Structures are given as structure tokens and as C-alpha cells.
Amino acid sequence: MSVIIPDSIKKEISPAIKPEYDPDFLPFGKFISWYEKAAGKSDEAISLAIERENQFVSTWRASILPLSAENLSLTRLYVEKLAKFLLWQKGGWKIYFLGPEVLYQHLKETFSETGERQFDVNLMSTVYEKPFQVVKVSAGEFPEDRDNPLRLGGHLDGCRLGFDLGASDFKVAALKDGQVVFSEEIPWNPQEQPDPEYHRRHIQSGLKLAAAHLPKVEAVGGSAAGIYINNQVRIASLFRAVPGEIFEQRVKNLFLDLQKEWQVPFEVINDGEVTALAGYLSLNRTAILGIAMGSSEAGGYLNAEGHLPGWLDELAFAPVDLNPEAAVDEWSGDRGVGALYFSQQAVNKLAVAAGFEFPSEMRLPERLKEIQRLAEKNEPRAVRIFKDIGIYLGYTAQLYSHFYDYRTLMILGRVTSGCGGEIIKQEAEKVLAAEFPELREKIEIYLTDEKSRRVGQAVAAATLPEIKRKD
């Protein structure tokens, strides 16, 4: 939905620190803050609830501006982007709406199989295996929150294997009583492979390579970008080349099949969740939001109680930029979503804007390596690219604070390797200090050491399963 934000409002929400190669960046978080302040204690309000698997429900309530003609388009923008963010944060197949009819109709039309958010609708229907719905309810029918915090991770006992599946390489690790005895990065090219045997064979060979460094294997844990429910692959970019029918037959239960082969506890979750878990293991902290910057953006959240809430946290598709001319994500077809700001795609986008030229056959991982190589040599444009990502991160850290109660923002992934990670961290901290001093006091941006940035998720993933020993 392209909404023209009045210049008077745009002036209030425009960033004080602008990305040099993306000067029209318009932070969604600042718009939320402006809107909620403007709505104040208005008598008009909305309530949203998102239902996901097993009847788990997450709710949100907010005041809205009086529905005058001048306010209606801004409120539609607020409600639609709010619903979209919540959908990708929490996950779900059904939106319950309590509020004005005109806003309900807008949501119902937008989040439909023929509406502007048809990608979201179709993907959520696939993930949760139910037709997507937007329903209007009365106050008495509005559901209550119902969550199921997971208690995965942090198990260090025994002999364990871990893996983290990336787009250009995957990592494997072997742990014995919490000590890493082996770790390795293995190149592969999964996104272009239509035969799932390629994926199974590579994962299995990597696990066997790591297993050779242990006396036995008692548990296996894994992480990958995408959506995994009960160890089933629901959506994952790594398998994009696999035809739909074959995906259902041979990919959906891939990890369940591997579990049968290894005959040990076996857990696979989203790599963003493993990022948060890695933060807990290395820092002994809770209230961690993890952001993995790799082929795409992955998010994960460990709450103040030290639990994974079991949300979707697919922040790659959550809105961060309201610029109507923002870059378009090739998969979702949407503008201004996280994948274009915190990933190899973001580096490529900014590199092109900076005037870099690459051979058409050069893939994004190689383009990233080239920009990182130049940044290490202090090439000004390459350094500026990582500064711009840091600016994105500072403003998006404020956006995420609307939806997550966190005190540590942990960043890792291939984009943060080398000097670029420290540049990103420093620029994000500058934004927080200048624009959001109260958050700068509350939130620490934490960058793991170089080795952990590259293989830390595989190590953390190894701690996912609990080994149930007989007394």
C-alpha cells in the first residue's frame, strides 16, 4: 500500500542520521512512535489477535487517531503495517480484529489471496496448513493471549553434533561435555538444487565428518533460515528450487528422516532463535534479541525468563522502511522489509548504489566477500556500506523495541565478519545515542568474536536437544 505521508509528518519521522547510499530511508519505528503519541488517549481503539498452531494466540491493543478524512490513510498504513509486523513476528493463520468497520474491511481486502499482501497470506496458509482468515469479533469474542514457551537449548552434557545451514556454506560442530572439539564450514549451493538428495547428502556427510571427532553421538541440533514446526520444514529458502510436490514428499520430513537414521534426540529450529540462544550461552543473559545477517535476515528472541516463546520471528519479511520507493524483496514482492537491510542482499543493494559493478555471474556471497576485502583496506565506499547498515540497525533496534522487551541485541552472521561487524555496531550505537538515548541506556548491541560469528550458531544448535538418560 503506497501512502503519501504529509511532509509535516515526514519531517518528524525522517532519520537525523541518514544512510548515505539510501537517503530516503524512512524508519517504521519512528512512524509508530509518532502515531502512538498523536493518537494519545483517543477514544478510538483497535485490538488485533494472531492465532498460530495449537490455538496459541498473541494480542495487541492500541489507540488510533479519530477517523477523519485526513487521518484515515495514515491509520490504514499504521494498522496494515502493524498487522504485517505482528504476523511475521508471532506467526499465524488467523487475524482477529476488534475496531471500526472501515479498518476491518481494509485489512480483510489487503490480507487476502487477491490482495496486496497475498504473499503473506499464501505463505502463512502453507506454514500452518489452514486457509488464512481475517475475522471481525466483538469485545466479548476477542481471544486472550495463549503462549507456549519452549525450553530448548543450553544442554551441554554428552557428545553432541550441531549444524547451521546457510545459503553459501553450512557449519558443523562437535561438542563433548560443552567443549567444542571440532568445527568446520563446508561450501555448498543449495538454493539452485532441485533434487533434495543433494541437501540430504551434504548435511549427512557434514554430520558424519563432525561425528568422527566424538566417541559417540548422543544428540543432534540444527538451525537454518526458514520456518520449522515440530522439526518439519514448512518454508525455507534453501529448498526454493525443489518442486512443490517433491518438497512435500522428500523435504518436509527431511529432519525427521535424519533423526531416524541417527536414532538420537534431534531438534531443528530457525537460525534466528539459535542466534538468541548463542547469546545466552556466551553471555549468560536473558532478554536477548538475536539478528543473524546472512543470505537473508533471521531473528530470534529469548525472553526475560530465559525461554524461547515459540514465535515465528521471521523478521526478513517484517517492515522496517516506509519509503514508497524502497527496494523490493524478490521473494515476497514487498518493499522495505528486513531482508533488504540486514543481509548479503543489503550489501549488494548498497554496493550498487555506491557505484560498484560486479560481473553478472558473481553471486551475492562473492560480492559480499569483495566488499569486505575492500573494507579491510579502508576503501571509503566499502566502509560506508557497513556504516549504512549500522544506521539501519540503530533505527530498527528502536522499531524492534516496540515489539520485543530486550536488553541485548546480538548480531552475527557472515555480513558481520571482519571489520564490517564492528562498523555496523558502532554506527548503530551512534544512532541510539543521538535519537533514542533512553534505549542506548537500556540496550547493549553485542557482536560475537570472529569465530563465533561464523560457526557460533552450529555450536549453539548442538545444545538444543535434551539427552534423557536412564537412571
| pLDDT of 1 above 70 | no
* Statement to judge: residues 83 and 170 lie in one domain: no
Q: Provide the residue range defining the domain that includes 82.
A: 17-141
- Do residues 368 and 266 share a domain? no
Is the pLDDT at 450 greater than 60? The verdict is: no
State whether 304 and 443 are in the same domain.
yes
pLDDT in tens, 187-235: 999 989 999 999 999 999 999 999 999 999 999 999 987 889 889 999 8
Domain contains 6: no
Looking at residue 170, what is its pLDDT?
93
Do 451 and 321 lie in one domain? The reply is yes
- CATH number, domain with residue 187: 3.30.420.40
**Grid coordinates belonging to 236:** 525455507
For 59-82, how does the pLDDT look when each residue is reduced to its tens digit (9 = 90+)?
999 999 999 888 999 999 999 999
Whether 266 and 396 share a structural domain: no
pLDDT > 90: percent of the chain? 80
The per-residue pLDDT for 449 is 67
Grid coordinates representing 306? 530465559
Q: Are residues 57 and 127 in the same domain?
A: yes
User: Residue length, the chain?
Assistant: 471
Domain boundary at 141, 168, 185, which?
Answer: 141
Q: What is the pTM of this model?
A: 0.87
Q: Pick the last residue of a domain from 97, 114, 141.
A: 141
The CA radius of gyration of the chain, in Å to the nearest whole number, is 22
**Does 413 map to a domain?**
yes
Please report the pLDDT score of residue 2 as a whole number: 65
Is residue 270 pLDDT above 90, yes or no? Answer: no
What is d(CA 125, CA 92) in angstroms, rounded to the nearest whole number?
Answer: 8
In a domain, 426, yes or no: yes
Where a domain ends, among 250, 271, 292?
271
pLDDT digits (tens, 9 = 90+) for 83-133: 999 999 999 999 999 999 999 999 999 999 999 999 999 999 999 999 999
Asked whether residue 465 is assigned to any structural domain, the reply reads no
Residue 440, pLDDT > 90, answer yes
Do 133 and 193 lie in one domain? The reply is: no
Say how far apart CA 408 and CA 430 lie, in whole Å: 16
Residue 152 in domain? no
Q: Could you tell me if 375 and 383 are in contact, meaning their C-beta atoms sit under 8 angstroms apart?
A: yes
Q: Which pLDDT score, from 0 to 100, does residue 122 have?
A: 95
Instruction: Give how many domains the chain has, as a whole number.
Output: 3
Q: Is residue 432 part of a domain?
A: yes
Torsion of CA 42, 319, 237, 260, to 10 degrees: -40
> What is the C-alpha separation between 414 and 421, in angstroms, rounded?
9
- Alpha-carbon torsion, ordered 414, 416, 419, 420, to 10 deg: 110
